[in-house]
Amino acid sequence: MTMKAKKTVRKTAAKKASSARPAAKRIYRFGKETDGDGSMLALLGGKGANLAEMARIGLPVPPGFTLTTEVCNLYYNKGRKLPRRLEREMRTAVKELEAQTGKRFGDPANPLLLSVRSGARSSMPGMMDTVLNLGLNDDTVEGLARKTGDSRFAHDCYRRFIHMYGDVVMGVRPQDEHSHDPFEEVMDDVKRSAGVKLDLELSAKDLMQLIDRYKKLIKSSTGSGFPQEAFQQLSGAIGAVFDSWHNERAVVYRRKYNIPRDWGTAVNVQTMVFGNMGEDSATVVAFTRDPATGEKVLYGEYLVNAQGEDVVAGTRTPKAIADLEVEMPRAHEELQRVSRRLERHFRDLQDFEFTIEEKALYILQTRNGKRTGLAAVRIAAEMVNERLIRWKTALTRIPADSISTLLVPVFRSETRKAAKLIATGLPAGPGAASGQLVFSAREAERLGQRGEEVILCRNETSPDDIHGMLAANGILTARGGVSSHAALVARQMGKVCVTGASDIHIDSQKRTLTVDSVRLKELDVISIDGTTGEVFVGYLDTAPSEVIQVIDGELTPEQSPTYKLFEQIMKWADRARKLGIRTNADTPEQARHAIALGAEGIGLCRTEHMFFQGERLPIVQEMILAPTREQRQQALDKLLEFQRSDFTLLFLEMEDRPVTIRLLDPPLHEFLPSHDGVDGTLAKSLGISRQVFIERLRELHEQNPMMGHRGCRLGVTFPEITEMQVRALFEAAAFVVRKHSVKIKPEIMVPLVSYQGELEHQTEIIHRVAEEIMTRDKVKIPYLVGTMIEVPRAAVIAGKLARTAAFFSFGTNDLTQTTLGMSRDDSGPFLVPYEKLDIITRNPFASLDTEGVGFLVKLAAENGRNIRKNLKLGICGEHGGDPDSIRFCHDIGLSYVSCAPNRIPVARLAAAQAALQASRPSLAISRKAGSTQTASY
């Protein structure tokens, strides 16, 4: 035999061996014998793995078995058929259950009943199907009745089973969302005949009649009878659960959460236990700690003589778990023991379900519990102290967004319950606020100055309204989304804000707000909850968050346990994160607040926001409308004074932290009144005729102001404005350096650059003026000049820009608008349908569109760093405060993110999580599956 021939033989043998290999294990038992464990998430699904794990550690789990996710794939590969051999394997598994329980499947004397439930690798709540009480038929139902001595109970189980099976397995269900459930129709009919209103009121006899009619319904709908044979029932139910992996809901859900279709679902077949077998039976739903507050106390509720679904349905009011200690002391003790055991084992808050069947306890499932932001923080921190988890794990346990719930004021829950809800909009600025209704910024300011609490209500807000927004307690708009102007400014200011409350109608002339029949007048009191989007009539009591009280010095850290938790988490986050965290702040007050919350610098100071304040606006208007260059210079000279003092205060506040100052950005007409509002006084004060004034306004009007004469286009065409701003900045800087010996670090940012020549033009002015003042004042200020990257062209030519710019700051608000060709303010009418149609998964203005905008950000970052190795890269759009976007920024190696002051804690935590996730690639699976890059980058 030649060598080659030998090789061939060996290969063939290997091939044969592989095809002759015994099939992979397809059924994993749990109970007395347990084959799987908690690590086998991919194979057994979440529910199956946890059931196995609990059985393994000796918790009282009703015995059962799991068909693996591989069986699901086999099922689909075979064209929706169960593998032949599986039947035999199932019978063996069921036999073992019979042996353990002493009951027999399909035996009228002592029937074994089973539940069949889905359980995918990743939880998909309510997306797939479940069948309970399987094994009941016309004979076994009588056996169950005899055995329990409760005919009503047995027949109630049976009718529920037929209903579920008919729906899930046999497809007897409403044809579309407008038609009724055929089973419910029959039920209604029977109830009418029996003269009762509630299901509970039906007698055993009524239920028998119902069962009879259910069976006829199935027969007439499908042509087949309801199957009486237990194994036939079982195969049918398993097939149906597998089928449900591909039902419409599940497909949509998977697409939305980027769950691969080939993951498949497992199926769990488990012995039924009944909490409704009398007064010594009960059903319990419990949490190992309080999921609302995080307090370490067993938390939950129970119902005697009931099944789990009765707790959920809310037809009876459950009792608090504490009462169980009195009613069933031994069960309560056992529950405590199990709770501790579960938490020690799973090392996280557990949400678990218990059934007490004739005093015997069975645990049906456990999973990591959902919790509020506060609870997430408290539980994570305390579990580290209890040495249950490490600090890095604790950080990954807190949804980054939820940390912000520690910062916002809240309505006291008792007052909320009593209040009259009139509308619901979008939760645009978290927190709770009450006040008198006003419809104009001017009125808001007037009342605000008198110390009144007001809610400013507008169709939408514009920069004109900023002083009114500042004075208001909260902002409510009828239009706009979560990233409308109102929302953006509100979050920046930390104001409570509800946007897009489209049911309300505002008549700003009559000064009324109408919702259906409710009509409110100006100065009527309303309350808005920016965390939920709710709008209430009247005054609701609020409580400021403890963390903010500590930040503001109204409480000491020692007085606030919540603050201590917060501080602890933030300390850990800072230890883990790689990204720098800066803030978008325009005033010393905002800067101070942001530093207290952990900002390491300013990533965006919008100098124009300084222009809107009180006495400055008329000067700005004078500058814009000046008929001669000389008059413009006079106005600029006045503005110089203001800007210099603004910058001085800001530098003093920020000390040696970097401060990025953006040159004037918005179109000039934003500083002017709209046509309608021209009353002639402004023209008069400017010494020009009303006609000239209106003419000039019209000239400045733009079709698409977002893409008009703004950003560095202003600085290039009116270089004297740039000169003034740079002069103010360096004179302030020189003053602070000389008088206060503070080492400040200004970073001057040129906005809306699309051509290299624009950046060069502005940079030349900056260097010239800087040099002049530093020479004159004999100081050396280490400053940087950089550019915003906020139009696609800038991203494309980033390599060239990096020759001039020492840093890039990605203005992802505008970059999103331009990359998508989508005006943020005008996108509401289609973005909402787009989400429903699954064209987008998240609003691109809230969370960075990594596929489109992200491509350009990455391109610019790479091309920029190719030219300038130490190029500083930051992001200062709204996305700087969004956890998903922060993760993207971390992944592509940005230097820092910058966000509104109140988002700083979120950003710190999200940055830490991104760093931890990047260093543990296993955690990143679902994210990788979700990345949808096509263009090669």
Footprint of a second copy (CB under 8 A):
702-709, 713, 716-717, 752, 754-755, 757-758, 761, 790-793, 796-800, 814, 817-823, 825-827, 829-830, 833-834, 837-840, 849, 851-853, 855-856, 859, 863, 934-936
Q: Is 75 exposed, middle or buried (0-12, 13-18, 19+ CB in 10 A)?
A: buried
The number of angstroms, rounded, from the C-alpha of 611 to the middle of its chain's C-alpha atoms is 35
For 128-177, list the strands marked E by DSSP: 130-134
C-beta of 236 vs 844, nearer to a second copy: 844
254 contacts: CB under 8 Å, gap ≥ 6: 124, 260, 261
In angstroms, the CA 203 to CA 691 distance is: 86
Let me know the angle formed at the C-alpha of 122 by 120 and 125, rounded to the nearest 5 degrees: 80
C-beta of 413 vs 934, nearer to a second copy: 934
**Min separation Cβ 831 and a second copy, Å:** 9
C-beta of 723 vs 758, nearer to a second copy: 758
CB 843 within 8 A of CB 483: yes
Can 485 be counted among the known catalytic residues? yes
C-beta of 269 vs 426, nearer to a second copy: 426
**Min separation Cβ 545 and a second copy, Å:** 34
Query: 932: which 2 tokens?
Result: 């949808």
Bridge partner residues of 874 (DSSP): 809, 896
In angstroms, the CA 573 to CA 465 distance is: 37
In angstroms, the CA 717 to CA 714 distance is: 5
C-beta of 55 vs 798, nearer to a second copy: 798
**Min separation Cβ 716 and a second copy, Å:** 7
Neighbours of 738 (CB within 10 A): 12
CB 237 within 8 A of CB 218: no
Closest CA relative to residue 616, chosen from 587, 643, 585, 588: 643
C-beta of 705 vs 930, nearer to a second copy: 705
Alpha helix (H) residue ranges in 460-597: 466-471, 485-493, 546-551, 561-576, 588-596
**Min separation Cβ 751 and a second copy, Å:** 11
**Min separation Cβ 659 and a second copy, Å:** 26
**Min separation Cβ 808 and a second copy, Å:** 14
- In eight-state DSSP terms, residue 139 is T
C-beta of 133 vs 754, nearer to a second copy: 754
Q: Nearest 5°: phi and psi at 478?
A: -85, -25
C-beta of 250 vs 797, nearer to a second copy: 797
**Min separation Cβ 864 and a second copy, Å:** 10
C-beta of 365 vs 818, nearer to a second copy: 818
Of 157, 457, 712, 876, the catalytic one is: 876
Query: 909: which 2 tokens?
Result: 């935590």
C-beta of 100 vs 462, nearer to a second copy: 462
**Min separation Cβ 29 and a second copy, Å:** 44
In angstroms, the CA 158 to CA 228 distance is: 12
Query: 265: which 2 tokens?
Result: 């679902």
In angstroms, the CA 258 to CA 156 distance is: 40
Closest CA relative to residue 350, chosen from 368, 371, 372: 368
**Min separation Cβ 132 and a second copy, Å:** 38
- In eight-state DSSP terms, residue 114 is E
Q: Is 711 exposed, middle or buried (0-12, 13-18, 19+ CB in 10 A)?
A: buried
CB 307 within 8 A of CB 300: no
Torsion sign, CA atoms 25, 29, 33, 39:
positive
In angstroms, the CA 786 to CA 773 distance is: 20
Can 605 be counted among the known catalytic residues? no
**Min separation Cβ 799 and a second copy, Å:** 4
766 contacts: CB under 8 Å, gap ≥ 6: 722, 726, 748, 785
Neighbours of 417 (CB within 10 A): 8
Of 332, 485, 609, 879, the catalytic one is: 485
**Min separation Cβ 891 and a second copy, Å:** 18
DSSP for 238-257, please give it. Answer: HHHHHHHTTSHHHHHHHHHH
C-beta of 643 vs 722, nearer to a second copy: 722
Bridge partner residues of 269 (DSSP): 65, 116
Closest CA relative to residue 365, chosen from 38, 28, 54, 124: 54
**Min separation Cβ 875 and a second copy, Å:** 17
Bridge partner residues of 117 (DSSP): 130, 268
C-beta of 301 vs 825, nearer to a second copy: 825
Closest CA relative to residue 275, chosen from 356, 352, 353, 329: 356
Q: Nearest 5°: phi and psi at 298?
A: -60, 135
In angstroms, the CA 243 to CA 300 distance is: 34
Active site residues: 485, 876
